[in-house]
C-alpha cells in the first residue's frame, strides 16, 4: 500500500509573534493554529512574517526565515554582512543582533538546556548566567570581530569560492567573510577561481605566521597551481583514502597556548578563535587546581593542549595520561610534549582505551569531547576513578547538560560553570564545568 506524498509547506508565509530563543540559532513561534515554527533571522519579542523553508503538513515543526520585520526588537541592528539574511550564507546566526544581545541569547539557551536536560538552575550549576566575550571582542553594535582562523570555503560549479547556505549544499558566493581572521582574508581565496575543486579550507595559525590551505578536488579533478596573496603551505585530500597529503610546504601549523608551542598537522583540531586555547586552559586550570604529584587524565586530548598545561603543573612526581582517537593528532601530541616525560599519550577511543589501562584512580580529569558528548557508560567509568575534581569542556550545551545529569547519578555535582562567547555571530558557545564528588563538597 503506497502512502500519499505529503504536501510541502515550503514558501508558505505566516505572521507570528516570536517567542524565546532555542538551541540552534533560531527562535520559537507558533501560528494561529498552534503549529510550531523555528524561525531564523529574528529575535524574541518581534512580530514578523515567517516564510517556511522546510516542512510538510504532517511535520512536528516547520523551519522558517523572517522575511519581513513588522515590529523590531530593541536588540536588532542592520546585519553588517551583505551575505547575511534569508536564503543567503548560513555561516552566521546572529548578525542582526547587538553583540551583548547575542551573549544574552546564548546564556538563555544554556540555562534552558541545563533546566530541561539536567534539572539544574544556573545557581545550582554554580553559574552567574553570563557569557563572557573573548579579549578584544567587545565591539560596538554594527562591528564584527574577525576571529575565525579556519574557514572552509565551498566552491560552486563555476569555480567561485563561497560558503554554504543554511542546511543546504548550495553555495553563496562571497567576496569577503567578515568573521574570517585577517590571516585567512589576506590569502585572497575569494578573488581567484578554483576549477575542479570542491572545497578549500584555509588555516591561519594565531601562534605563528603559518598559513595553510587544504584542497579537496572534485571526483577526478586535478589540482591547480596554487598562487595566493601570501606564502602558504598546500595540502590535498586524497580521492581514494580521504586522507590529507602534503603538496608543498610544512604539513602542519604552529600554535601557541599557555606559553607552549603546539604543532597541529593535516588540518587537525585546534580551537578556532585566537583567544580560545588560552581562555579555556586558564578556566580549566583555575577549576582543577592541580597539585604537585597529581595523577591527571586528559581525555579526547587532541594535540595535547590540556595535557601540556597539566604536565607543567603536576611536577616531576606527577603523571598525565592523554587519550585521543586521531592517529595524526596523537603523533602531534607526542611531539609537542616530548620534553615532559611525565606525560603519556595513548591512541584510541576513550571508552575502549581507558578500561585497558587498568587505571583505577585519578586525582583530576579534564575532558573535551566532540559535540555528541561523553555518554552514560564513560561517565560511570570516570566517576569510579574518584577524582577530586573533573573539568568538562563543552561546545554543545545540550550534550553538556545530558552528561551533567549522568554525573549527578554517579555522585558528582557541578560546582562552577563558566561560558565563553568564542564563536561570535554564530549560535555556538563554549562552556567549562567543574565537578566534584558530593561527599567532598564540604
Binding residue positions: 271, 300, 324, 368
User: What HEC string does 296-315 produce?
Assistant: EEEECCCCCHHHHHHHHHHC
Residue 123 CB contacts under 8 Å (≥ 6 apart), including other chains: none
DSSP 8-state class, residue 396? -
Cell numbers at 9, concatenated: 509547506
Cα separations in angstroms, 118 against 20, 112, 337: 20, 10, 36
Known binding site for S-adenosyl-L-methionine: residues? 271, 300, 324, 368
Task: Please tell me the distance from the alpha carbon of residue 99 to that of residue 20, in angstroms, as a whole number.
Answer: 18
Task: Please tell me the distance from the alpha carbon of residue 233 to that of residue 179, in angstroms, as a whole number.
Answer: 22
DSSP 8-state class, residue 97? B
Buried b (16+ CB within 10 A) or exposed e, 142-181: eebbbbbbbbebbbeeeebbbbbbbeeeebbbbeebbbbb
Cell numbers at 397, concatenated: 550545551
Question: Angle at which helices 99-113 and 397-409 pack, to 10 degrees?
Answer: 30
What is the separation, in whole angstroms, between the first and last Cα of the chain?
65
∠ CA 426-427-432, nearest 5°, is 110
36-40 and 61-71 strand pairing: parallel
Task: Please tell me the distance from the alpha carbon of residue 108 to that of residue 20, in angstroms, as a whole number.
Answer: 9
Task: Please tell me the distance from the alpha carbon of residue 51 to that of residue 65, in angstroms, as a whole number.
Answer: 5
Buried b (16+ CB within 10 A) or exposed e, 50-64: bbbbbbeeeeeebbb
* 395: annotated active-site residue: yes
Task: Please tell me the distance from the alpha carbon of residue 287 to that of residue 415, in angstroms, as a whole number.
Answer: 9
Catalytic residue among 27, 177, 301, 395: 395
- Coil vs helix vs strand at 157: coil
The catalytic site residues sit at 395
Amino acid at each position: 500500500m503506497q502512502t500519499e506524498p505529503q504536501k510541502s509547506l515550503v514558501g508558505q508565509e505566516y505572521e507570528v509573534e516570536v517567542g524565546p530563543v532555542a538551541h540552534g540559532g533560531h527562535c520559537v513561534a507558533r501560528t494561529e493554529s498552534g503549529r510550531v515554527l523555528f524561525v531564523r533571522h529574528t529575535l524574541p519579542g518581534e512580530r514578523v512574517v515567517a516564510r517556511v523553508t522546510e516542512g510538510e503538513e504532517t511535520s512536528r515543526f516547520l523551519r522558517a526565515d523572517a522575511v519581513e520585520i513588522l515590529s523590531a526588537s530593541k536588540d536588532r541592528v542592520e546585519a553588517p554582512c551583505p551575505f547575511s539574511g534569508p536564503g543567503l550564507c548560513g555561516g552566521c546566526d546572529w548578525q542582526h543582533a547587538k553583540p551583548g544581545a547575542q551573549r544574552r541569547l546564548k546564556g538563555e539557551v544554556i540555562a534552558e538546556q541545563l533546566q530541561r536536560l539536567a534539572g539544574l538552575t544556573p545557581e545550582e550549576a554554580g553559574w552567574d548566567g553570563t557569557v563572557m566575550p573573548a579579549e578584544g571582542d567587545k565591539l560596538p553594535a554594527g562591528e564584527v570581530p574577525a576571529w575565525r582562523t579556519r574557514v572552509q570555503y565551498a566552491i560552486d560549479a563555476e569555480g567561485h569560492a563561497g560558503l554554504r547556505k543554511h542546511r543546504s549544499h548550495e553555495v553563496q558566493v562571497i567576496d569577503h567573510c567578515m568573521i574570517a581572521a585577517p590571516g585567512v582574508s589576506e590569502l585572497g581565496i575569494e578573488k581567484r577561481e578554483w576549477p575542479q575543486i570542491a572545497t578549500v579550507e584555509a588555516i591561519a595559525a594565531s601562534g605563528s605566521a603559518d598559513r595553510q590551505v587544504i584542497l579537496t578536488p572534485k571526483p577526478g579533478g586535478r589540482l591547480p597551481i596554487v598562487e595566493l596573496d601570501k606564502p602558504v603551505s598546500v595540502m590535498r585530500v586524497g580521492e581514494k583514502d580521504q586522507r590529507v597529503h602534503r603538496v608543498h610546504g610544512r604539513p602542519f601549523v604552529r600554535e601557541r597556548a599557555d606559553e607552549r608551542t603546539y604543532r597541529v598537522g593535516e588540518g587537525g583540531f585546534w580551537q578556532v578563535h585566537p583567544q580560545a586555547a588560552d581562555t579555556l586552559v586558564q578556566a580549566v586550570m583555575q577549576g582543577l587546581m592541580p597539585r604537585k604529584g597529581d595523577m591527571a587524565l586528559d581525555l579526547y586530548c587532541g594535540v595535547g593542549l590540556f595535557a601540556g598545561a597539566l604536565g607543567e603543573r603536576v611536577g616531576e612526581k606527577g603523571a598525565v595520561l592523554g587519550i585521543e582517537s586521531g592517529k595524526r593528532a596523537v603523533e602531534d601530541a607526542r611531539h609537542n610534549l616530548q620534553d615532559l616525560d611525565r606525560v603519556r599519550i595513548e591512541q584510541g577511543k576513550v571508552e575502549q582505551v581507558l578500561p585497558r589501562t587498568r587505571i583505577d584512580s585519578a586525582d583530576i580529569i579534564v575532558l573535551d569531547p566532540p559535540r555528541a558528548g561523553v555518554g552514560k557508560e564513560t561517565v560511570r567509568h570516570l566517576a569510579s576513578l574518584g577524582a577530586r575534581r573533573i573539568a568538562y569542556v563543552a561546545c554543545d550545551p545540550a550534550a553538556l547538560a545530558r552528561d551533567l545529569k549522568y554525573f549527578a547519578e554517579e555522585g558528582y555535582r557541578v560546582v562552577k560553570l563558566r561560558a565563553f562567547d568564542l564563536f561570535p555571530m554564530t549560535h555556538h558557545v563554549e562552556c567549562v564545568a567543574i565537578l566534584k564528588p558530593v561527599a567532598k563538597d564540604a
